[in-house]
């Protein structure tokens, strides 16, 4: 196995010295969907020292089209994505330490994941989580790489605390409230390209080649063959509440949303404490509902109109519902 990274070390900007640096680095990757699985595999094959992966969801059949670390068996058994990815990544490279967390990312969880991390990679599909990452990264001075994808369109940007504009600085210039994966779908090539750009920037940071970093926001459409590179250096704001002179880190102090509709899913996520005891929950519900699946991480049951998935961290997904008011009624009906 001595030649495992030989083709990578022959690339002069990395070399053996860079490879040695990679083995010492710890990357936190948030979101193990399409972007996350693509980036995680590349980082693990490249031989980083430690990878922490975080995801709140479980594998479904619709994931298999683009989330290539997962199998049909994972979908059939409703395996949490972080656990399924951990198994696959360990099978790819046992030299890399993989730490998996099946949890949502809020202002409570994220700071606990930060100690010892050299880089944060964004593979989420919610701007609220990205803004939370942005605040935590600015507070702890950890570089992070934003990535987004919908349809055939992708975008990525590297944030260096105290050097570049942060995501909050750019927020009014980013496309929000436009198409989502639910309305426009997404294709694999766009995802792979975003991941490739993200991991390339990650490798530069991890081996210390900061002079090679892209200083621009990159956007592209693989279907229409369009690409744009935007110099955003002038957008850094001294008044920015996340990275400016009088920082308040607003997303670290903002109360998390408890009821959230999920992108690309006919579902609502509820965050609470009532569903943590899955064993007691199964005893209470089994006489009145049909238990669909259960494992150490989740319990799934269905009614005539909806399917529920309760996670041990207290989250509940209500499938077949998009109205928040109705979702609240259903949640309180089954969980108190």
Give the active site residue among 149, 166, 169, 181. Answer: 181
Domains belonging to the chain, first-starting first, are 6-253 (3.40.50.720), 259-335 (3.30.310.10)
Torsion of CA 162, 164, 170, 174, to 10 degrees: -140
| Angle formed at CA 41 by CA 38 and CA 43, multiple of 5 degrees | 105
Radius of gyration from C-alpha coordinates of the chain: 20
Q: Are 16 and 9 in contact (CB under 8 A)?
A: yes
The pLDDT value recorded for residue 257 is: 41
Annotated catalytic, 149? Answer: no
How far is residue 88's CA from residue 69's CA, in Å, rounded to a whole number? 6
Q: What is the DSSP letter of 58?
A: B
Q: Is the pLDDT of residue 201 over 90?
A: yes
Among 113-127, 176-190, 197-211, name the one with the lowest average pLDDT. Answer: 176-190
Contact 261, 324 (CB under 8 A): yes
Complete DSSP assignment for 194-249: HHHHHHHHHHHHHHT-GGGS--EEEEEETTTTEEEEEE-GGG--TT-TTTSTT---
Sorting pLDDT into bands at 50, 70 and 90, what band is 334? confident
Predicted confidence band of residue 289 (pLDDT cuts 50, 70, 90): confident
H/E element holding 37? helix 34-46
Looking at residue 227, its pLDDT comes to 94
Q: What is the DSSP string of 126-138?
A: -HHHHHHHHHHHH
pTM (predicted TM-score): 0.78
């Amino acid at each position: 196995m001595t030649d495992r990274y030989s083709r990578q070390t022959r690339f002069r900007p990395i070399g053996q010295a860079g490879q040695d640096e990679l083995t010492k680095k710890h990357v936190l990757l948030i979101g193990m969907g399409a972007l996350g699985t693509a980036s995680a595999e590349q980082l693990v094959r490249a031989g980083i020292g430690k990878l922490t992966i975080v995801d709140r969801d479980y594998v479904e059949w619709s994931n298999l089209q683009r989330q290539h670390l997962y199998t049909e068996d994972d979908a059939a058994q409703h395996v949490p994505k972080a656990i399924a990815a951990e198994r696959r990544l360990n099978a790819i490279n046992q030299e890399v330490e993989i730490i998996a967390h099946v949890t949502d990312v809020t202002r409570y969880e994220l700071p606990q994941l930060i100690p010892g991390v050299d880089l944060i990679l964004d593979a989420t599909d919610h701007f609220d989580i990205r803004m939370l990452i942005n605040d935590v990264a600015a507070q702890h001075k950890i570089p992070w790489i934003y990535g987004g994808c919908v349809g055939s369109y992708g975008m990525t940007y590297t944030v260096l605390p105290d050097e570049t504009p942060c995501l909050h600085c750019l927020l009014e210039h980013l496309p929000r409230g436009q198409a989502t994966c639910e309305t426009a779908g997404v294709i694999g090539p766009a995802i792979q390209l975003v991941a490739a750009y993200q991991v390339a920037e990650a490798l530069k940071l991890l081996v210390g080649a900061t002079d090679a970093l892209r200083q621009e926001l990159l956007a592209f459409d693989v279907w229409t063959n369009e690409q744009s590179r935007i110099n955003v250096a002038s957008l850094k704001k001294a008044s920015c509440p996340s990275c400016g002179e009088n920082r308040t880190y607003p997303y670290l102090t903002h109360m998390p949303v408890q009821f959230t509709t999920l992108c690309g899913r006919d579902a609502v996520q509820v965050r609470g404490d009532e569903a943590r005891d899955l064993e007691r929950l199964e005893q209470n519900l089994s006489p009145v509902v049909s238990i669909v699946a259960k494992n150490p991480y989740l319990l799934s049951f269905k009614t005539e109109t909806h399917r529920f998935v309760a996670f041990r961290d207290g989250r509940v997904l209500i499938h077949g519902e998009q109205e928040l008011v109705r979702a609240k009624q259903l949640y309180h009906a089954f969980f108190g």
